[in-house]
Chains A and B, each alone.
Chain A
Amino acid sequence: MTTLIYDGTFEGLLTAVFEIYEQRLTHVRMQKGEWHNTALFENVVKVVTENTRATRVLKGLKQKLSAQGLQRLYAAHMAEMEGEDDNLVGYIRYVFDSPKNVEEDYGNKYVMRVSEIVRMVRREKHRMEAFIRFQELKDKTYYSAIEPDYNVLPLLIKHFRNRYADQKWIIYDIKRSYGLYYDLHETQYISLDFATINPGNVISAYEDNEAVYQELWRNYFTSVNIPARKNTKLHLRHVPKRYWKHLTEKI
């Protein structure tokens, strides 16, 4: 058994696959994180992410998978789910070792697992598209904070760009301390230093009517409810409690 330590990026994962084939490794285990020179594992390979190698693997994958299949693999990796890297590598190896496209071979354990992961990630992405609530700042930027279970921010760019082309917006993942900023032209990754922001400034940073619209929305939410049909269980299944703190209508 060989343990491959890599940096957790998608390029890193692809580089690791390159090494596996180059060194003809058969039994491997993936490990995300820093390289420490300890005797913890016997057989350890340190994967240094290399774009040329990653690109070659990517090119190979493109030949074996549909564009959609590749997209799904990427989404599965973006989930950053604990302990799933081995399955992703298993999937990639299965793809390379098979003569034909196997992305729909759901009876295979790797294909099945990737399909399950993708289902979970897609759901989280979809929930973010639904539950993001923007607040308008004085400079007309719309700001939103989120804390998704999986790292789905990169998967949200396209949706929000297509939707809000005429307003500046920020979507910030508090849990992972980075965000997206769209300035009417480009979208870029940013990080904000909350330690230096004074809470007083935050309130005054909102546009004058912001509180009004939030209140109107809360009112609306209450008005459309039909008490005679109350069904708390169903409500909670659709809007799990962990999302509430960022939902205007649930605060």
Chain B
Amino acid sequence: MNVERITEKLNILADAAKYDVSCASSGSKRQNKDKGLGNASNGICHTYTEDGRCVSLLKILFTNVCIYDCAYCVSRKNNDIKRAAFTVQEVVDLTISFYRRNYIEGLFLSSGIFKDADYTMERLVQVAKKLRLEHNFNGYIHLKSIPGASDELMREAGLYADRLSINLEMPTEAGLKLLAPEKNRQDMITPMNFLKDEIILRTEEKKLFKKAPMFAPAGQSTQVIIGATPETDQQILQMSDQFYKGFKLKRVYYSGYVPVLSDSRLPALNTAVPMVRENRLYQADWLMRFYHFKVNEIVNHDNPLLDLDIDPKLSWAIRNLHEFPVDINKADLRMILRVPGIGVQSAQKIVAARAFRKLNWDQLKRLGIAINRARYFITCNSPQYERRDLTGTAIKQYILAESQSKYIKNSTVQLNLF
């Protein structure tokens, strides 16, 4: 092993891959078989970067050589940076050695496009194939498909990878045209459609024949960059909703644009990364996926932008005070899930527990609900009801005042940057 060379490659190709935010390693059901190495189902984050994002996969580019010139991307053709490329064997060795030491759950492999889509995609597939067939590796593998790769290669990728993703990059077609004029959205949508159909087909097959091979068991995901182009949150979330429904995506990732290049089409180099906004988008996305919210309840014509100072659930509650108070001891699960300060797990516990007795403030608190937010929206088996005749604005101010200390600390972290 040429230690110096491999270290250099890893530094370059991990650095270039870090802007891809997809990190999840859950959602697969791959078991360890024949006393092999690893399994994939747990979704463990093994460490966290200093910016607080989780690390669960070895996330690298196969190469940062690229024939395209997308304005937002560090690997773009016209960016003057050091280039490198791994060999298939090098990626395999790194993955196995890191996995054996329990550093990672598996591999996330993406790539710049050298030569053409198929040539690149073929290498990614080779890595996955080698890991599975030669090393009996059952850890998680996520391949980023190269738009324009042939159906045949996509099908092979699905047989060895747990998840496949095709990044939309920009929330709208217009945004993409502006920043990546050589690409077009259809090249991304066609393979997504292909994968969707293939996944459905294979799942049916698996129901009939237990022995049928798994096909991308963790499904497909995508990523959009936010803040590089001027889309509203409404446009972004509506796009997600459409992709969740139309393509059965497992996840949409939102990546706050980190200014790395100076280009007249892009925000200036000293623009702050829209971290709060990114966080609010994830919260809104959760509301759609786990809390039964419809997208137009969260953002709509009157409210095209998410509140930056409060989370979208609280924001919805304040706009819909007529739905409250919710009686914790009677309301159905759907409505309990809509109370600010109550998460999915505590909501389920509440419903289970009240079959035995009526719950009061103290018990609710110990069940893990955030009383300081919830108390304005619920009644329970305690006499006081906190909302009295407060207006939405007043409730917002009370809640913000109470979480102020936390809030101020957070914002100083951001201000310190510049």
Contacts and interface: CB of A to CB of B under 8 A. Distances in A.
B47 A233 contact: no
A224 interface: yes
A108 B6 CA distance: 58
B37 A166 contact: yes
Contacts of A225: 18, 49-51
Given A107-B353, A225-B49, A130 B10 contact: no
Contact of A230 (B1, B55, B103, B413): B413
B335 interface: no
B409 A213 contact: no
Contacts of B49: 221, 224-226, 235
B349 A133 contact: no
Nearest to B19: A226
Contacts of A102: 356
Interface in B345-368: 349-350, 352-359, 363, 366-368
Contacts of B349: 104, 106, 115
A216 B7 contact: yes
B102 A133 contact: yes
Interface string A227-243: 11111111101110000
Nearest to B6: A216
Contacts of B54: 238
Contact of B102 (A134, A220, A228, A234): A134
A220 B39 CA distance: 23
B298 interface: no
Contact of B359 (A107, A167, A215, A238): A107
Contacts of B259: 228
Contacts, number: 172
Nearest to B354: A107
B19 to A, nearest CB: 8
Contacts of A166: 35-37, 136
Contacts of B395: none
Interface stretch (A9-17, A44-52, A157-165): A157-165
A70 to B, nearest CB: 17
B97 interface: yes
A84 B142 CA distance: 44
A173 interface: no
A142 B11 CA distance: 26
A215 B1 CA distance: 14
A35 interface: no
Contacts of A31: none
Given A134-B100, A216-B7, A107 B48 contact: no
B256 to A, nearest CB: 8
A129 B52 contact: no
A223 interface: yes
Contacts of A105: 353, 356-357
A100 to B, nearest CB: 9
A167 B103 contact: no
B66 interface: no
Contacts of A119: 368
B38 interface: yes
A179 to B, nearest CB: 15
B52 A238 contact: yes
Contacts of A133: 101-103
Interface residues of A, number: 57
Nearest to B348: A104
A119 B346 CA distance: 12
B84 interface: no
A232 B51 CA distance: 6
Nearest to A167: B100
Interface string B365-379: 011100000000000
Interface in B334-351: 349-350
Interface in A120-155: 126, 129-136, 142, 144
A223 B357 contact: no
A169 to B, nearest CB: 9
Given A164-B37, A229-B258, A235-B52, A219 B11 contact: yes
A130 B44 contact: yes
Given A130-B45, A248-B103, A230 B58 contact: no
Contacts of B101: 133-136, 142, 213, 217, 248
B37 A167 contact: yes
B46 interface: yes
Interface string B48-76: 11111111001100000000000000000
B50 A232 contact: yes
A183 interface: no
Given A104-B356, A130-B44, A217 B258 contact: no
A134 B102 CA distance: 6
Contact of A231 (B47, B51, B58, B256): B51
Given A104-B349, A223-B15, A224-B18, 13 more contacts: A106-B352, A107-B363, A108-B356, A134-B100, A142-B100, A144-B102, A215-B7, A217-B101, A220-B10, A220-B58, A229-B256, A229-B275, A249-B103
- What are the 10 A-B residue pairs with the smallest beta carbon separation, nearest first? A234-B52, A229-B51, A106-B353, A104-B352, A105-B356, A223-B14, A238-B48, A231-B52, A165-B35, A225-B49
28 contacts: A104-B353, A107-B354, A108-B356, A130-B47, A133-B102, A134-B101, A134-B102, A144-B102, A159-B42, A163-B38, A165-B37, A184-B35, A209-B97, A213-B98, A220-B14, A223-B14, A223-B18, A224-B17, A224-B55, A225-B49, A226-B49, A226-B53, A229-B53, A229-B256, A235-B49, A235-B50, A238-B54, A239-B48
Interface of A: 102, 104-108, 112, 115-116, 119, 126, 129-136, 142, 144, 159, 162-167, 184, 209, 212-213, 215-217, 219-221, 223-235, 237-239, 247-249
Interface of B: 1, 3, 6-7, 10-11, 14-15, 17-19, 31-32, 35-39, 42, 44-55, 58-59, 94, 97-98, 100-103, 136, 256, 258-259, 273, 275, 349-350, 352-359, 363, 366-368, 409-410, 413, 417
